[in-house]
Amino acid sequence: MPRAQTRVPTRRSSSYSPVQENNFNIDRFSHARRDASRPYPTLGNVMDWTATADPNEGFTDLGFRDFIQASRRVSRRKLAHIETNPYATELLNRGVEFVTETNETFNSVLEASVIHTGNVGSMLMDEIAHVNERVDGRREEIEKLEKEFLGCHEGILKIEDEQEQHGMAIDRLKGEVITLKDLVRSLVAKTGELLLSGWSRDTTRIVEVGVRGHRLCRGREGERS
């Protein structure tokens, strides 16, 4: 596919030479094509319009001969930025820079047709090159987005793993809390048993002391009698 960078070599034509004063508007047009209210463009106008590979002007005011010359000047600039295979290179070059060999019969109609076809071909190849560049740019953006997505996905997996670990830790803490509650209940029960046991022993001692005191008092009363 064509790419914009490598220059396609060009050759000079035998008829449609570069736009110059001596070959511009040789048909002596006085007004713009299809518009008699406007003057015919000057050589300076055409030189300014064709000074770029991507002109905004469509050359609609020019006669066909001048149109071919102006378009070919733009095509040369386009070809200087298109990289393609050798076959396409020669095909475009022979179209834009039409040259008949010394032993070939010259045909002006054929020459104009070939040059015009070459101009159209170079324009199409240039458009394809621009499309490929935009596609490559979008592909880089897509690859960048995919990398960012993978990074986000890895981050999400990491967060999910941390959440799972936190959940397991919470479950362990819940188990420990339940165990502590059971231990507290056991301690409370044991403490109650100990308190009840101690209270029973103290009560028994108090009763025994009372009984002994009562017997002692009765003994002493008997002795006095």
pLDDT band at 4 (very low <50, low <70, confident <90, very high): very low
- Average pLDDT in the chain: 77
Instruction: Classify residue 25 by its DSSP letter.
Output: S
Q: pLDDT value at position 39?
A: 92
Q: What percentage of residues in the chain have a pLDDT greater than 70?
A: 76
Which residues are CB-contacts of 111 (< 8 A; sequence separation ≥ 6)? Answer: 13, 14, 15, 16, 98, 100
SS (H, E, C) 58-84: CCCCCCHHHHHHHHHHHHHHHHCCEEC
Is residue 61 scored above 70 in pLDDT?
Answer: yes
Q: pLDDT value at position 221?
A: 59
14/208: higher pLDDT: 208
Residues linked to residue 31 through DSSP beta bridges, in sequence order: 39
pLDDT digits (tens, 9 = 90+) for 63-104: 888 888 888 888 888 888 787 888 888 888 878 877 767 777
111/1: higher pLDDT: 111
Q: Which amino acid is at 106?
A: F
Q: Taking residues 17-37, report their average pLDDT.
A: 76
- E strand map for the chain: 3-4, 31-32, 35-39, 82-83
Other CB atoms within a 10 A radius of the CB of residue 50 amount to 22
Which residues are CB-contacts of 27 (< 8 A; sequence separation ≥ 6)? Answer: 63, 65
Is residue 6 scored above 60 in pLDDT?
Answer: no
Q: pLDDT value at position 217?
A: 63
Q: Taking residues 144-153, report their average pLDDT.
A: 84
Degrees to nearest 5, angle at CA 155 with 154 and 159 = 115
Tell me which residue of 128, 154, 126, 151 sits closest to 54, measured CA to CA.
126
Tokens of 211: 């009984």
Place of tokens 């070059």: 93
Q: What is the dihedral of CA 62, 68, 72, 74, to 10 degrees?
A: 20
Q: Taking residues 32-36, report their average pLDDT.
A: 85
Q: How many Å separate Cα 30 from the centre of its chain?
A: 54
pLDDT digits (tens, 9 = 90+) for 167-214: 888 888 888 888 888 888 888 777 777 777 666 665 666 656 565 665
Which residues are CB-contacts of 93 (< 8 A; sequence separation ≥ 6)? Answer: 8, 9, 10, 11, 79, 118
Q: Which amino acid is at 212?
A: R
Is residue 216 scored above 80 in pLDDT?
Answer: no
Q: What percentage of residues in the chain have a pLDDT greater than 90?
A: 0
| b (16+ CB within 10 A) / e for 103-117 | eeeeeeeebbebbbe
Residues linked to residue 83 through DSSP beta bridges, in sequence order: 3
The pTM for the full model equals: 0.51
